[in-house]
Amino acid sequence: MKLKLYQIDAFAGEQFEGNPAAVCPLKEWLSDGLMQNIAMENNLSETAFFVKAKNGFELRWFTPSTEVDLCGHATLAAAHLLYEHLNYKEPNVSFFTRSGRLTVEKDGRWYKMHLPAKAFPREAPPLDLYHALGGEIADEVYQNDDFLWVFDKEEKIRRMSPDFSTIGRIKTRGVIVTAPAEDKSVDFVSRFFAPAVGVDEDPVTGSAHAMLIPYWSQRLGKKKLVAKQISKRGGLLKCKQLDDNEVIISGQARTFMKGEIKL
């Protein structure tokens, strides 16, 4: 069996920026075990698989260690593959996923991705997590699928050197750290740590912004925001709080590699 495989940098304005995702278009689903092995072999934060369905595509995402419910950057990468390599012509594409229907619209060089907004209830953090993040004192802490730690200065999260083994034992998908941006053209910055699902630090995380956008929109009193994830690779996201239930995240993408899997 031979399968096509693409490596695409999502949320990347230039090559070698953003978050690399592997994307594998399929005619029919492979076994869960085989898709997990392919993701482990790729060893990227996410490998996406999609199959044509009525009115769109079924889409699934795997880290090197597990299947996940939502992945923004690999969704954007899948849309880029369809438009740039598979001659997809419709103005938007619908993906049917474990998190429901996700829609991506092409707008010039940008892709607008609609994701369900996440609430951010306040939460007292575990003491272990405080130490794992280097003892930095957060102004506010919230919890949904991830912990969200809010700091007063960008420098605090830039210099953070987390203890990933401890974070991996926390009972959430991951930990988001965020602060106001020093660059006045950007509203907020963030980093995202998710060793529990096999990703110590994710370069740019669309799904984390489903929680970040509602928080910063409420705090800053504005619907349109510009965000930057300040990982080593980094990436820029244009964000919009559409309503209480939905956010829009826009990013660019670049194809890095096309290949073939031999099974």
Q: Catalytic amino acids?
A: 46
CA dist list (Å): 2 to 7, 22, 30: 16, 16, 12
Tokens of 210: 């489903």
What tokens were used for 146?
């991830």
Asked whether 246 and 117 are in contact (CB, 8 A), the reply is yes
By CB atoms closer than 10 A (0-12, 13-18, 19+), residue 163 is middle
In 3D, which of 80, 65, 15, 21 has the Cα closest to residue 202? 21
As a whole number of angstroms, the distance between CA 248 and CA 105 comes to 10
Question: Which of 59, 29, 57, 58 is CA-nearest to residue 47?
Answer: 59
Dist. CA 178–CA 180, nearest whole Å: 7
CA 98 – CA 207 distance, rounded (Å): 13
Question: Rounded to an integer, what distance in angstroms lies between the CA atom of residue 135 and that of residue 62?
Answer: 32
Structural tokens at position 201: 């630090």
Contact status, residue 35 vs residue 61, Cβ threshold 8 Å: no
